[in-house]
Amino acid sequence: MNGVLTACRRALGAQFSGRMLLLSLAPLLLALALWGVAMWLGLQPLLDWLHGMFADYGGFETSGSMLEMVGLGMLKVMVVPLVAIVLLLPLMIGSALLFVGVAAMPAIEAHVGKRQFPGLAKKEGGSFFGSVAINLGSTAVFALLWLFTLPLYAVPPLAWLVQASLWAWVTSRVMSYDALAAHASEAERLDLMRRRRPALLAIGFTSGLAGALPGIVWMGGAVLSIVLFPILALVSLWLYVMIFLFAGLWFQYYCLQALEELRAEAVTQPA
């Protein structure tokens, strides 16, 4: 656990350095460009389509009754934007994770490796396409599980914990791969992910506690006013990028330290 805390301290110190703030611009601008255009062109058509579907198939009556049962009847007038959030939020989280993994993590690995672990040999056990594949596959599973946990929003503390657990799973898979892609061999990466799984999940869960907050803020904005809906969505997207960037740094410091220890252990073991 000392390694986890040491890596967290290093990540906090690096998060707000000039280099890391500049590095955050690439995934942030990519995400904002994608979702800014998507919101501008597609938000109103999506809301209109959902409104028509609810009107045609009795969705307003059904959703109103369900919300009344859990004491959230005041939300029935906002059911369409809330459903839009349900559809868009996992996609926004996934895009932020993908952009950080593809655009930022290679630079983070090079920066941390050069400054903190200059003697650590690179075995190139990962690849760009491997990173994209694990990002897309893990995000798809995350989005599906996230949708199944939506009823838990009726109990916000429970929803927060469950979503943090989902974040722990997805970030430990994606960030561990990206953090070890250049330095570890495939065998070393798999060995570390098996040995250090509790610590990796702990880092992911702690990051996930913060990562669940933007979605709650976004939902609150949709309830307050439809005018705030796209603005808070983009603010939430910025928060996702920054949280993923910090998580990436935390995983990077921890994984390279763990890799260094693994190789030192292999050297000291008798033949």
Q: Where are the domains of the chain?
A: 1-37+91-268
Number of H helices, E strands in the chain: 12, 0
Encode pLDDT of 129-142 as tens digits: 888 888 888 888 88
What number is the average pLDDT over the span 45-54? 80
CB 168 within 8 A of CB 196: no
Rounded to whole angstroms, how far apart are CA atoms 76 and 59? 10
Exposed e or buried b per residue across 30-57, where buried means at least 16 C-beta atoms within 10 angstroms of its C-beta: bbbebbeebbeeebeebbeebbeebeee
Distances in Å between the alpha carbon of 181 and those of 81, 130, 132? 40, 9, 12
In angstroms, the CA 167 to CA 201 distance is 9
Residues 176-195 pLDDT 10s: 888 898 888 989 999 998 88
pTM of the model: 0.80
192 in Cβ contact with 143 (< 8 Å)? no
Residue with tokens 């260094």: 260
